[in-house]
Amino acid sequence: MVRKVNGHDIGRLMMGDQCVFEEIYQLYSGKVYRLAFRFLKNTELSQEIVQETFMNLWLNKEKVDPNGNIWLFLFVISKRLSINALRNIAKSKYHTENLLLYFNELQNYTEEDIFVRDLELVAKKVIGDLPRQQQIIYKLSRIEGYSHKKIADQLNISANTVKNHMSTALKTIKSRLSEYELMCLFLTLFLF
């Protein structure tokens, strides 16, 4: 049976009873951690929020309502600290990169598979939209693995012409795929 903190316990806390404080910590530190983790998605920062929350409780123990709900008091403190931490994360490039890295690790692999399949379809369409000569040269170079000289010999054109067609094709493909990736990034950020 889980022990509940009552008004008598809160009164003892307000008087500076460390034993009651430790009991409250044992009862609620896990809940505070889970709340912070829901906001921050970071173990280390969430543990810091737990410590700061209970430090705030101890430093402000006289302000706790003896007839109130201690969890509500802890909830408000930890939520405020978590939101402040998120603001600080937004200001900090290092933490922002770590948060993005964490979210990337949690991505659904099905979504990644769909994205890769869509990207492949877009790439095929972009290659299909290239002028015929560029398509042939691109496929021989990138898919068949032919050298520029071998392509030139096979198509009876100069290696310089092959190089120019490849250069133009790659610029077009890169530009179109970048537009697609940018569009997907915006959709991902705003829809999910």
- Measured CA to CA, the distance from residue 69 to residue 75 in angstroms comes to 10
Q: Could you tell me if 66 and 146 lie in one domain? A: no
pTM above 0.75, yes or no: no
Q: Could you tell me if 99 and 26 lie in one domain? A: yes
Domain-located, residue 1 = no
pLDDT at 48 (0 to 100): 95
b/e sequence 62-85, b meaning 16+ C-beta within 10 Å: eebeeeeebeebbbebbbebbeeb
Q: Where is pLDDT greater, at 159 or 112?
A: 159
CATH number of the CATH domain containing 182: 1.10.10.10
Domain-located, residue 166 = yes
Q: Which helix (H) or strand (E) holds 176?
A: helix 159-191
- Domain closes at, from 104, 126, 143: 104
What count of other Cβ atoms lies within 10 Å of the Cβ of residue 53?
A: 27
Q: Give the 3-state secondary structure of 116-139.
A: HHHHHHHHHHHHHHCCHHHHHHHH
**Burial of residue 151, with CB atoms counted within 10 A of its CB: 0-12 exposed, 13-18 middle, 19 or more buried:** buried
Q: Is 68 left (phi over 0), alpha (psi -120 to 50) or beta?
A: beta
Per-residue model confidence as pLDDT tens digits over 110-130? 555 666 677 677 778 888 888
Domain-located, residue 167 = yes
- Measured CA to CA, the distance from residue 126 to residue 158 in angstroms comes to 25
Per-residue model confidence as pLDDT tens digits over 160-181? 999 999 899 888 878 777 776 6
Distance of CA 33 to the CA centre of its chain: 19
Per-residue model confidence as pLDDT tens digits over 49-106? 999 999 999 998 888 888 888 888 899 999 999 988 888 877 766 766 777 776 666 6
Domain-located, residue 46 = yes
- The amino acid that residue 135 corresponds to is Q
Q: Could you tell me if 132 and 185 lie in one domain? A: yes
Owning domain of residue 61: 7-104
What is the number of structural domains in the chain?
2
pLDDT at 2 (0 to 100): 55
pLDDT at 110 (0 to 100): 52
CATH number of the CATH domain containing 28: 1.10.1740.10
Q: Could you tell me if 87 and 117 lie in one domain? A: no
Pair 92, 143: CB distance under 8 Å? no
Give the pLDDT band of residue 184 (cuts 50, 70, 90).
low
- Domain closes at, from 104, 132, 164: 104
- Domain closes at, from 55, 70, 104: 104
Q: Could you tell me if 119 and 140 lie in one domain? A: yes
pLDDT at 192 (0 to 100): 46
Domain-located, residue 32 = yes
Domain-located, residue 41 = yes
Q: Could you tell me if 124 and 37 lie in one domain? A: no
Q: State which of 62-76, 131-145, 147-161 shows the largest mean pLDDT.
A: 147-161
Decide if pLDDT at 145 tops 80.
Answer: yes
pLDDT at 190 (0 to 100): 53
Q: Could you tell me if 98 and 13 lie in one domain? A: yes
Q: Could you tell me if 162 and 81 lie in one domain? A: no
Domain-located, residue 2 = no
pLDDT at 143 (0 to 100): 81
Domain-located, residue 159 = yes
pLDDT at 181 (0 to 100): 65
Q: Could you tell me if 99 and 187 lie in one domain? A: no
- Measured CA to CA, the distance from residue 182 to residue 16 in angstroms comes to 57
Long-range contacts at 92-96 (CB < 8 A, ≥ 24 apart) = 95/42, 95/45
pLDDT at 1 (0 to 100): 44
Decide if pLDDT at 3 tops 50.
Answer: yes
